[in-house]
C-alpha cells in the first residue's frame, strides 16, 4: 500500500449517514429571514422543496441517514478515490505530503451529483413529478439531468442563454440523459417574458435563470426547484466527500495539517471540511482553508450581512459573507466560483475563525492546473485549479521551511468541458482581474436593510 | 460484494507481464513484407521504432515483463474498474449478467495510454528525445501527449486539419500536457508541402498525417514514430485490460460466455480478448466478438490479403482483412473505427474462426449509448457504443430464450469530447450508411499484388 497512488474503499464503505455540522457549531446558525424580517417557516419553504429537504435545512441532528436508494446511485461512482500526489510532490521537490480527493469520477464530472441524487430521491418520495433548476456553465444542470431520470422525474434546466449558445456540449450531455434544456430568458415564465420584452437579445444571467426556475416550481404543484450549492441541505449531502476521505487517510495512517477546497457557494468546502470540524473543536491542530477567486472575493473582501441568495431578491435573506446581491463578477473561467454570496454555514464558521479563506488570481490558478495535469495526468476543472494553486503555494512554503506537512485538497472535477478556457490561457488571452474597492463598496451599499 | 456495482483491484494487482497471444496461436503470424516482397527485417523497422518495440513486434514469447516505470504510470489510473451493469440489466429485463471494463478512467479518457506509456518509456530508454504521431479525432494524440512529457520527451502531433479546426478541445488537451500540435498537411514535411502545393485548402486526412509523422521520424535520428493501434506491440500492451478483467471476474466467481469489443485497428479487441484466448484453445466455450461499424466493415465484408497499413503506402505490407488502402469510409462519428484494415493478429484469428465479427449501423449504436448513459450514468464514446449495441442485442436475445449468459464488453472510453456527435444524433441529423458492394469491390481491386 505504501507506494500506492490511489487509496480506495469498497462500496460498503460509502457512508451510511451524512454529517450535520450544525450539531457541532459553537453557535446555532442564524435563521433565514422572510420579506417581513421574520424567520422563514418550513411551510414557506415547502412551496418549492419537499418536506425531507426542508427538515434537513433546519435540522440540528448530528447524523442523518442516507436512504438506500441514494446510496445505490452513489455506488455508480463512489467511494471516489483519494490520491497521494506523488508525482506532483516530486516535481515540486517539497517535503510536504499532498493528497487529493477526486470527485471528477462521477458521470457528470464533479461532486455535484452527491446532492443531486439526494434531492431527486426526496422529491420522488414526496410525489413530485418534475424538477426545475438553473445552470450556468452546466455542472449542476448535468448532475440533476443525470439523476432525475434515474428516479423517474422529468427535468427542465434553464441554461443561461450565452452558455447555451457558446458551450453546447454540456447542453448535449444533459439532453443525452433525457433532460429538457431551455435557453434563459425563455418565454415560458413571466420573469423570462419581461426580460425579453425589455431586450429581445438578452444574453441571460444566472440570477435570471434562477428566477425562471423558481417561478415555474412555485406555480406548479407537481414541480419542485433544486439548487446545487449554498443551502444547508446541499452541504449536508456533500459531507460524503470528507467522511470518505477520513476513512481513506486512516487506512494509510495519516491526517491532514491543512485542507484546501475551492469556494463558490460553499458546497465543496462544506463537503470536505465539515467532517473534520469536530476534531478541530476538540483541540486538533488543523487548518481549513477555503480558496476563492480574487475576482469574486466573497469571504476575503465581502461583508457579513443579511442578503438575498439571488440577483433579483426572490430567496429568503441569509446572514452570510456577500459582495452584494447585485455584484456582477467578471466573466472568469471558473464559472462555479462566480457567486456574490456564500453558504450561511460556511460564512458563520469563517466569521468565528474556524475556517480560513484565501483569494488567488486567475492566471496563477491555470498555471497550477497545468503543473498538476503534467504530473498527475488529470486535467482539472478551473474551479479545482484554485485549490491546487493554494496547495502548491503551501507545499513550496514547506520546501522553504523544511516542514513535511500533510496537505489535502478536493479535486472537485475534471476540465473536459473547460478546454476552451485552457485554450485561452495557453494563447495568452486571459487576464487577472482584481475588483476595485469602489465597485465592491458600491455593490455593498445596496445590501437590503434588515 | 455480491450487490456491488464495481469490482476493484489494488494497484499491486496491475499485471506484471503483458500477454503475447502469438505464443498460443494455432499458426505463427504471417510476416510483414517489404517493398521487395521479402519479410521486413528488424533493422528496417528500427528507423522509426526503438529496439525493444521491434523485438516485441516480432516476439513469440508468451509473457513479456512490464517495466516498473510503465507500471508506475499505469498506477495513476489502473487497475481500471470492472462494472456489473445492474441498472442496465434491470432496464432491459434480461436474465443475462452484463459486465463492462471501463477504460475511460485514464486521464486521456480511453484505453490508448496503456500502449502510449510503454512506447514513450522504450523510446526514452533508447535515447530518443522526440516522438511524432498523427491523430484524427484525438484519442491517440492525447495519450502520447499525456505520457510523453512524463518521460521527458518532446511530442509533436500531426492533427488532421479539419479536426484541428472543428474539434479544438482535444487539441487544447494535448497542449495542456505540453505537446506541440500541428494542423496536417503542414509545411514541415515534403508530404505536407506537396499536398499543400496541389491544394492550399487541403483539409487533411489520417493517411496524410501518418505520412508526415513517419517522414519526420525517419529523417531525424533523435525522433521516433508512435502508432496507437494495428501493430502487434500495441495489442500486446493493451492486454492489461483483459488480464485485469480475468482477475476481477475471478473475484466474483464469474466467467464470460461472450465478450464484445469495438473494433477499428484492433487494439481494444486484442487487449480484452487475447488473454481469454488460451482458454478457448483449451476447450472452454467462450465467444469473442469484434464489433465494427457497417459503414467500415473491414472484417465482415473485406478481403484477407496483403495490404498497406496507410493510405499512401509507406508501411510494410500486412496480411490482414482490408477494404483496400484507398478505401475512404464515410465521416461517421466513431472516428476511432474508421480504418480500412485491421490488426494482422486479429485478422488471422478471425480468419481461423477463433474470433467472430459483427457489423452494426450508426444510429443503433447511439441509441444503445443513450440507453446505457441513462441507466449506468457514464456517457460512452461513440466507438464504445458499438460494443454496447452488440451486448444489448445479445442480452435481449437472452431475454427471449431465457438464458442467463454472462456478457462482458469493454467500455473503451467516455464521450466527453464527442458531445457534438450526440448533439447531431439527438437532432436527427445522423444517418446510417451501408457501403455499396460496388464501391468495396472497386477499392479491393486496388490491392497491391504480392
The pLDDT of residue B1 is 40
Q: Which residue of A has its CA nearest to B424?
A: A172
Q: Across the A/B interface, how many CB contacts are shorter than 8 Å?
A: 124
Q: Does the CB of A23 have a partner CB in chain B at under 8 Å?
A: no
Cell of B130: 522526440
In angstroms, the separation between the Cα of residue A193 and the nearest Cα of chain B is 26
Report chain B residues whose CB lies below 8 A from the CB of A173. 379, 416, 419, 422
* Cis amide leading into A246 (omega within 30): no
Do the strands A63-65 and A154-160 form a parallel or antiparallel pair, or are they unpaired? unpaired
Report chain B residues whose CB lies below 8 A from the CB of A88. none
Q: Does the CB of B220 have a partner CB in chain A at under 8 Å?
A: no
Do the strands A317-322 and A303-308 form a parallel or antiparallel pair, or are they unpaired? antiparallel
Which residue is it, cell 443579511? A306
Q: How far is B80 from A240, CA to CA, in rounded Å?
A: 23
Question: Which domains are delineated in chain A?
Answer: 6-12+77-109+235-444 (3.40.50.1100)
Number of residues assigned to chain B: 450
Report chain A residues whose CB lies below 8 A from the CB of B5. 11, 75-76
Q: Does the CB of B316 have a partner CB in chain A at under 8 Å?
A: no
Q: Are A228 and A375 in contact (CB under 8 A)?
A: no
Model pLDDT for residues B264-286, shown as the tens digit of each residue: 999 999 999 999 998 998 899 99
**Residue from the list B76, B370, B378 with its beta carbon closest to the beta carbon of A377:** B76
**Residue from the list B172, B375, B422 with its beta carbon closest to the beta carbon of A426:** B172
Q: Which residue of A has its CA nearest to B146?
A: A377
Angle at B339 between CA B338 and CA B344, to 5 degrees: 145
Would you tell me which residues 166-205 of chain B have a C-beta closer than 8 angstroms to some C-beta of chain A? 168-173, 175-178
ipTM of predicted assembly, 2 dp: 0.96
pLDDT of A1 above 50: no
Contact B169 A377 (CB under 8 A): no
Tens place of pLDDT for every residue, chain B, 450 residues?
447 999 999 999 999 999 999 999 999 999 999 988 999 999 989 999 999 999 999 999 999 999 999 999 999 999 999 999 999 999 999 999 999 999 999 999 999 999 999 999 999 999 999 999 999 879 999 999 999 999 999 999 999 998 888 888 999 999 999 999 999 999 999 999 999 999 999 888 888 898 899 999 999 999 999 999 999 999 999 999 999 999 999 999 999 999 999 999 999 999 999 999 989 988 999 999 999 999 899 999 999 999 998 877 888 999 999 999 888 777 667 777 888 899 999 999 999 999 999 999 999 999 999 999 999 999 999 999 999 999 999 999 999 999 999 999 999 999 999 999 999 999 999 989 888 888 889 989 989 887
Q: Does the CB of A36 have a partner CB in chain B at under 8 Å?
A: no
- Does the CA dihedral B145-B149-B152-B156 come out positive or negative? positive
pLDDT winner (highest mean) among A135-139, A202-206, A239-243? A239-243
Report chain A residues whose CB lies below 8 A from the CB of B91. none
pLDDT of A145 above 50: yes
Cell of B105: 478512467
The pLDDT of residue A297 is 93
Q: Does the CB of B75 have a partner CB in chain A at under 8 Å?
A: yes
Which residue is it, cell 510476416? B31
- Mutation pick from A1, A2, A4, A6 vs chain B, by most beta carbons of B within 10 Å, is A6
CA A161 → CA A136, A157, A181, B361, distances in Å? 9, 11, 10, 35
Q: Does the CB of B400 have a partner CB in chain A at under 8 Å?
A: no
Report chain B residues whose CB lies below 8 A from the CB of A375. 150
- Mutation pick from A379, A421, A430 vs chain B, by most beta carbons of B within 10 Å, is A379
The pLDDT of residue A292 is 96
In angstroms, the separation between the Cα of residue A78 and the nearest Cα of chain B is 9
Report chain B residues whose CB lies below 8 A from the CB of A77. 377
**DSSP codes, A73-136:** HHTTTPSPPEEE-HHHHHHHT-SSEEEEEE-TTSTTSBSTHHHHHHHHHHHHHTT--EEEEEES
> What is the arithmetic mean of pLDDT over A198-225?
91
CA atoms within 13 A on the CB side of B379: 26
Amino acid at each position: 500500500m505504501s507506494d500506492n497512488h490511489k487509496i480506495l474503499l469498497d462500496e460498503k464503505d460509502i457512508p451510511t449517514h451524512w454529517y450535520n455540522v450544525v450539531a457541532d457549531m459553537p453557535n446555532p446558525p442564524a435563521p433565514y429571514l422572510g420579506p417581513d424580517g421574520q424567520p422563514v417557516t418550513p411551510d414557506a419553504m415547502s412551496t418549492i422543496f419537499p418536506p425531507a429537504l426542508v427538515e434537513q435545512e433546519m435540522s440540528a441532528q448530528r447524523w442523518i441517514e442516507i436512504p438506500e436508494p441514494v446510496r445505490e446511485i452513489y455506488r455508480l461512482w463512489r467511494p471516489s478515490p483519494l490520491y497521494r500526489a506523488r508525482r506532483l510532490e516530486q516535481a515540486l521537490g517539497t517535503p510536504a505530503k499532498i493528497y487529493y480527493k477526486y470527485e471528477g469520477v462521477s458521470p457528470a464530472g464533479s461532486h455535484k451529483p452527491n446532492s443531486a441524487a439526494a434531492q431527486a430521491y426526496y422529491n420522488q418520495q414526496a410525489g413530485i413529478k418534475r424538477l426545475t433548476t438553473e445552470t450556468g456553465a452546466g455542472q449542476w444542470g448535468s448532475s440533476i439531468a443525470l439523476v432525475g431520470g434515474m428516479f423517474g422525474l422529468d427535468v427542465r434546466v434553464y441554461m443561461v442563454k450565452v452558455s447555451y449558445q457558446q458551450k453546447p456540449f454540456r447542453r448535449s450531455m444533459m439532453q443525452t440523459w433525457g433532460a429538457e434544456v431551455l435557453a434563459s430568458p425563455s418565454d415560458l415564465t413571466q420573469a423570462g417574458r419581461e426580460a425579453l420584452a425589455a431586450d429581445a437579445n438578452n444574453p441571460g444571467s444566472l440570477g435570471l435563470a434562477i428566477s425562471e426556475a423558481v417561478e415555474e416550481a412555485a406555480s406548479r404543484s407537481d414541480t419542485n426547484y433544486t439548487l446545487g450549492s449554498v443551502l444547508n441541505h446541499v452541504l449536508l449531502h456533500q459531507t460524503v466527500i470528507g467522511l470518505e476521505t477520513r476513512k481513506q487517510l486512516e487506512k494509510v495512517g495519516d491526517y491532514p495539517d491543512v485542507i484546501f477546497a475551492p469556494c463558490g457557494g460553499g458546497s465543496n468546502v462544506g463537503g470536505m471540511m465539515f467532517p473534520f470540524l469536530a476534531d478541530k473543536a476538540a483541540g486538533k491542530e488543523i487548518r481549513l482553508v477555503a480558496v476563492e477567486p480574487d475576482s469574486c472575493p466573497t469571504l476575503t473582501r465581502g461583508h457579513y450581512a443579511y442578503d438575498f441568495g439571488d440577483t433579483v431578491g426572490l430567496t429568503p435573506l441569509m446572514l452570510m459573507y456577500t459582495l452584494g446581491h447585485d455584484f456582477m463578477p467578471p466573466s472568469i473561467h471558473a464559472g462555479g466560483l462566480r457567486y456574490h454570496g456564500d453558504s450561511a454555514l460556511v460564512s458563520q464558521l469563517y466569521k468565528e475563525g474556524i475556517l480560513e479563506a484565501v483569494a488567488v488570481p486567475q492566471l496563477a490558478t491555470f498555471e497550477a492546473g497545468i503543473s498538476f495535469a503534467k504530473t498527475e495526468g488529470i486535467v482539472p476543472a478551473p474551479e479545482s485549479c484554485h485549490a491546487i494553486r493554494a496547495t502548491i503555494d503551501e507545499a513550496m512554503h514547506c520546501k522553504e521551511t523544511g516542514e513535511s506537512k500533510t496537505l489535502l485538497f478536493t479535486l472537485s472535477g475534471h476540465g473536459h468541458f473547460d478546454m476552451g478556457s485552457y485554450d485561452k490561457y495557453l494563447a495568452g488571452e486571459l487576464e487577472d482581474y482584481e475588483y476595485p474597492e469602489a465597485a465592491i463598496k458600491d455593490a455593498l451599499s445596496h445590501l437590503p436593510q434588515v
